[in-house]
Structure 1
Amino acid sequence: MDFRYLGNSGLKISEITYGNWLTHGSQVENDAATACVRAALDAGISTFDTADVYANTKAETVLGEALKGERRQDLEIFTKVYWPTGPGGKNDVGLSRKHIMESIDGSLSRLQTDYVDLYQAHRYDTETPLEETMQAFADVVRQGKALYVGVSEWTADQIRAGHAMAKDLGIQLISSQPQYSMLWRVIEDEVVPTSEELGISQIVWSPIAQGVLTGKYKPGEAPPAGSRATDEKGGADMIKRFMDDTVLERVQKLQPIADEAGLSMAQLAIAWVLQNDNVAAALVGASRPEQVHDNVKAAGVRLEPSAMQAIDDALGDVVERDPGKTAETAPQTRPV
């Protein structure tokens, strides 16, 4: 496993980071989820990312149980706050001081730890003053409940404003967690340059485009049984933007490039996002331990410029690059 600094901090994280978004507590039984975490640890992954909203807090509980007994100093544990949790009361959502201060305590209890290494704003809250949010994050850090703070799916302007307030408050906003893959490059024109300027790294989710970049979805064919595209608990909704025959046809053209590089299609996709110097880690999930073992082989891989160009040529105009998509896909009001 290779390790990279997160932002301009001294914190090193594994460049393959294990995430339990759509699996733990929902799609995968707890024993299987624990086996995947053990496989990640055995493969050298030390960084684990979750969120309170995943399976309505169950994912944090599963991860806490799976990591129990590990030396805490050897791990980097990340979680997030914003989306509705619990019974969905009027204050069980957003980035108000009340929700943040209550949520961090709940997350720490479920994760069975005294602190998280990174506490992230899971989206931007349009209904809470940014000053209130950042002050609450600063207090969480000063209380020793989080070491650093980050954001997820914020625009470049939002990141700049949040970073400035964090600096004034004496805390470090060091990370951004956006969607990023060969097919979804909306961060490249604005978020990445702003982050590079401010000393912020990307921890990217869905580097395999919810499984599309593995090549298992074939144009003109029904999705394989049991795949994410058939999961009505959330997977099918997230993947549908890529389930277009033109996209799937282009993705099939990546197979010879992967073969030439000696990689699987999934490994090629993960290695591709890690070529971006502003990316500190690629988030990967798993429903089976063998998926973990396959994904970690992308660590430390350097793709030749010719391979990077061949990928661009193969995908062509199906790549989404519009930086406005970050704001367009963000909640305009707090979800209920």
Structure 2
Amino acid sequence: MEYRTLGRSGLKVPVLSFGTGTFGGSGPLFGAWGNTGVKEACRLVDICLEAGVNLFDTADVYSGGASEEVLGAAVKGRRDRVLISTKAGLPMGDGPNDAGSSRLRLIRSVEDALKRLGTDHIDIFQLHAFDAFTPVEEVLATLDTLVRDGKIRYAGVSNFSGWQIMKSLAVAEKNGWPRYVANQVYYSLVGRDYEWDLMPLGADQGIGALVWSPLGWGRLTGKIRRGASLPEGSRLHETAGFGPPVDDDHLFKVVDVLEEVSRETGKTVPQVALNWLLQRPTVSSVIMGARNEDQLRQNLGAVGWSLSGEQIGRLDAASAVTAPYPHFPYRRQEGFALLNPPLAG
């Protein structure tokens, strides 16, 4: 397993990490993902650790805390061998202080997560969404307190825009508070919006990407093909409305090339899609999901080899879309491109 530093920090993380959204799954979204109990979770953790995958990602909102509870039980007795990443900020109830990033909410969220996880610290704590109602100064001062108290080690964000991250970094630098070193982002061959603003920001400011839904919300599993209906059992039947939309023509254009490269390399379509992400700038770790041992072992096959430059170029071309303003001049016009060479694609 390859390990990379998480942004501009000293923390080493595996290039593949494990997402536990299926652990304890319940409700219309997480229940459709899977319902992994403690016994099976222990087995999946065993396989991950054998392969060198020691970073496990969860969130308080995943099945109302059940994911954290199952993960905590699965790593009991080997906490010193794993890194735990969790998130908070999305609603966990109907009360006025059950959502957001206020000092009250963050402290309570961390305390509750520690109990569910059965640990005394969180290695990577991320804000699950930007809270426009809480001053950035209050958020960062609270994170500073939690770091000083030893309850969290590193801080990050998820689902933030570029200006929201930059404002936070400026406030942190001004006050000597911990800077965000992780950005948990949606990024895939059928969802490359990360490249417009957040990737250049990450490269400039030293923020490592932890990639979620790297298979495009289940679209790049190799089971969805041009002219065929969704396979029986696909989670897209129930969860498509929750995830980022993808135009069918664009999807099948990408899938066609994925299948070509799959045949050339002898790797599966998901392995090719994951390996492509591992070649992208700023990516520290790609979070893979798995409902069972077979899926996990297949995903682990995405490391230990590399796509050729020519294959990457074909995948880049198939997945490219016109960048939104003000980005498209920098990609398409020579004068702009000379001043702003792209990081990727």
TM-score by length of 1: 0.88
State the match for 2:158 in structure 1: 152
Residue 25 (1) aligns with residue 16 (2): no
Distance 1:316 1:100 in 2: 39
State the SS of the aligned residue for 1:212. Answer: coil
State the SS of the aligned residue for 1:118. Answer: strand
- Tell me which amino acid in the other structure corresponds to 2:281: D
Distance 1:159 1:224 in 2: 39
Listed one character per residue, the Cα deviations across residues 68-117 of structure 1 (whole Å, up to 9, x for unaligned) are 111x33211110111111x3311110111111000000001111111011
Alpha-carbon offset, residue 240 of structure 1 = 6.8
State the SS of the aligned residue for 2:210. Answer: strand
Alpha-carbon offset, residue 307 of structure 1 = 0.6
Instruction: Indicate conservation of the 8 Å contact 2:42/2:74, yes or no.
Output: yes
Larger Rg: 2
Distance 1:104 1:262 in 2: 44
Instruction: Indicate conservation of the 8 Å contact 2:222/2:268, yes or no.
Output: no
Alpha-carbon offset, residue 24 of structure 1 = 3.9
Alpha-carbon offset, residue 290 of structure 1 = 1.4
State the SS of the aligned residue for 1:61. Answer: helix
State the SS of the aligned residue for 2:124. Answer: strand
Q: 303-312 or 95-104, which moves further after superposition?
A: 303-312
State the match for 2:234 in structure 1: 227
- Tell me which amino acid in the other structure corresponds to 2:184: Q
Which ranges of structure 1 fall in alignment gaps of 5 or more residues?
A: 325-336
Residue 73 (1) aligns with residue 80 (2): yes
- Tell me which amino acid in the other structure corresponds to 2:107: M
- Tell me which amino acid in the other structure corresponds to 1:132: E
Residue 88 (1) aligns with residue 88 (2): no
State the match for 2:273 in structure 1: 269
State the match for 2:264 in structure 1: 260
Instruction: Indicate conservation of the 8 Å contact 1:121/1:150, yes or no.
Output: yes
Instruction: Indicate conservation of the 8 Å contact 1:179/1:205, yes or no.
Output: yes
Instruction: Indicate conservation of the 8 Å contact 2:199/2:281, yes or no.
Output: no
Distance 2:60 2:263 in 1: 39
Instruction: Indicate conservation of the 8 Å contact 1:134/1:166, yes or no.
Output: yes
State the match for 1:122 in structure 2: 128
State the match for 1:10 in structure 2: 10
Instruction: Indicate conservation of the 8 Å contact 1:123/1:151, yes or no.
Output: yes
After TM superposition, the structure 1 = structure 2 runs for residues 1-336 of structure 1, keeping only pairs within 5 Å, are 1-26=1-26, 27-30=34-37, 31-70=39-78, 72-85=79-92, 87-167=93-173, 168-231=175-238, 235-239=239-243, 241-242=245-246, 244=248, 246-317=250-321, 321-322=323-324
- Tell me which amino acid in the other structure corresponds to 2:178: I
Distance 2:243 2:235 in 1: 7
- Tell me which amino acid in the other structure corresponds to 1:292: L
State the SS of the aligned residue for 1:282. Answer: strand
Distance 2:212 2:15 in 1: 12
Instruction: Indicate conservation of the 8 Å contact 1:215/1:252, yes or no.
Output: no
Which ranges of structure 2 fall in alignment gaps of 5 or more residues?
A: 27-33, 327-345
Distance 1:181 1:19 in 2: 16
Report the identity percentage: 35
State the match for 2:330 in structure 1: none
